[in-house]
C-alpha cells in the first residue's frame, strides 16, 4: 500500500506540499505529543500518557500489562512499539509511555480514523480510516485505507454514535486551534475502542492526502468533497511558496 500511495501522490504531485503552511506556534504545539495530551485531557478523552522514565514505567505497569511506547516528537509512525510488563526499555530517550487502546477488530485488523481539516475561506472536513494487521496503522508503516463509515457499520460499537462523537471531538479541536492560531490545514488521528469511546491520538500539521486519492480510486469518497480538498490544496500551494522542488508527502 505504501508504494501504491507513493505512485498515486507522484501522479498528483501538484497537490502535494513541501512546506508546512501553518503558523510556527501551532507546529511547535502539535510536534510535542505530551503537550497535546496534557492540554486536551481536560477537554476530551485521551489515552493515559506519561513521559517515559524508569519510575513512570514502573508506575504505569503497576496498572497495565502492556503499553505503547512512542517518540515524543515523532511522525509517520516511526519508532512506535508495543511494550509488555517486565521488558527493559531503559535506553529510550524522549519517549512517551501510553495506554494501549484496543479497538474492536475490523476483518481481524486494527483501525483508526484520520480527519483532515482545511481552513481556506471556510472549514472543510474529510475523513478515512487506516487499517493494519498490527496496532501501528500509519500508511508509511504498512497500513491501508478504508471507508470509516464502512468500518463503523460493521462493528458492534456502531450503536454508540461514533460518527457524532468524532464530529464533536473534531469541533472541539478546531475551536481550540482557531482561538489561538490562524491555521491552514491539520490532520487529526482518533482511535475508537470496543465500547465506542473516541480517543484523540495525535494532531499533525503536515498531513498527507494520498488516502483520499485511494478512496477516490475505490469509489469511497464524494467527488464534491474531494474536489474541494484538492482546490484548497492548490490555494495553499499558491499562497505558501512559488518554489516546489523537494516533495514531502506528509504524514499518512
pTM score? 0.90
Backbone φ and ψ for 161, nearest 5 degrees, come out as 55, 50
What pLDDT score was predicted for residue 4?
59
Which residue bears the cell 505529543?
33
156/10 Cα distance (integer angstroms): 38
Domains of the chain: 2-46+101-240 (3.30.470.20), 48-100 (3.30.1490.20)
What pLDDT score was predicted for residue 6?
62
Calculate the average pLDDT of the chain: 88
Instruction: Measure CA 87 to chain center.
Output: 28
pLDDT in tens, the chain (252 residues): 556 556 666 677 889 888 999 999 999 999 999 999 999 998 899 999 999 999 999 999 999 999 999 999 987 778 899 999 989 988 899 999 999 998 889 999 999 999 999 999 899 999 999 999 887 777 667 778 999 999 998 887 666 689 999 999 999 999 999 999 999 999 999 999 988 999 999 999 999 998 999 899 999 999 999 999 999 999 999 886 544 333 444 566
What pLDDT score was predicted for residue 7?
66
78/10 Cα distance (integer angstroms): 22
Per residue, the 3-state secondary structure of the chain, as one string, reads: CHHHHHHHHHHCHHHCCCCCCCCHHHHHHHHCHHHHHHHHCCCCCCCCEEECCHHHHHHHHCCCCEEEEEECCCCCCCCCEEEECCCCCCCCCCEEEEECCCCCCECCEEEEEEEEEEEECEEEEEEEEEEECCCCCCHHHCCEEECHHHHHHHCHHHHHCHHHHHHHHHHHHHHHHHHHCCCCEEEEEEEECCCCCEEEEEEECCECCHHHHHHHHCCCCCHHHHHHHHHHHHHHHHHHCCCCCCCCCCEC
What pLDDT score was predicted for residue 246?
39
Which residue bears the cell 492560531?
181
Amino acid at each position: 500500500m505504501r508504494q501504491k500511495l507513493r505512485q498515486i501522490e507522484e501522479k498528483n504531485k501538484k497537490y502535494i506540499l513541501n512546506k508546512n503552511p501553518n503558523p510556527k506556534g501551532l507546529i511547535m504545539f502539535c510536534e510535542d505529543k505530551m503537550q497535546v495530551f496534557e492540554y486536551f485531557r481536560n477537554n476530551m478523552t485521551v489515552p493515559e500518557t506519561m513521559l517515559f522514565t524508569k519510575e513512570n514505567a514502573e508506575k504505569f505497569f503497576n496498572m497495565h500489562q502492556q503499553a505503547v511506547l512512542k517518540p515524543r516528537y515523532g511522525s509517520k509512525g516511526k519508532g512506535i512499539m508495543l511494550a509488555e510488563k517486565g521488558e527493559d526499555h531503559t535506553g529510550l530517550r524522549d519517549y512517551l509511555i501510553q495506554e494501549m487502546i484496543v479497538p474492536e477488530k475490523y476483518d481481524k485488523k486494527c483501525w483508526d480514523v484520520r480527519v483532515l481539516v482545511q481552513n481556506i475561506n471556510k472549514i472543510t472536513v474529510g475523513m478515512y480510516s487506516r487499517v493494519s494487521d498490527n496496532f501501528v496503522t500509519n500508511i508509511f508503516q504498512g497500513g491501508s485505507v478504508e471507508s470509516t463509515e464502512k468500518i463503523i457499520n460493521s462493528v458492534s460499537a456502531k450503536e454508540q454514535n461514533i460518527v457524532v462523537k468524532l464530529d464533536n471531538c473534531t469541533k472541539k479541536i478546531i475551536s481550540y486551534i482557531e482561538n489561538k492560531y490562524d491555521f491552514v490545514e491539520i490532520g487529526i488521528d482518533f482511535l475508537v475502542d470496543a465500547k465506542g469511546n473516541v480517543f484523540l491520538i495525535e494532531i499533525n500539521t503536515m498531513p498527507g492526502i494520498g488516502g483520499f486519492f485511494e478512496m477516490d480510486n475505490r469509489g469511497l469518497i464524494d467527488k464534491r468533497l474531494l474536489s474541494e480538498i484538492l482546490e484548497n490544496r492548490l490555494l495553499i500551494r499558491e499562497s505558501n511558496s512559488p518554489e516546489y522542488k523537494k516533495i514531502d508527502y506528509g504524514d499518512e
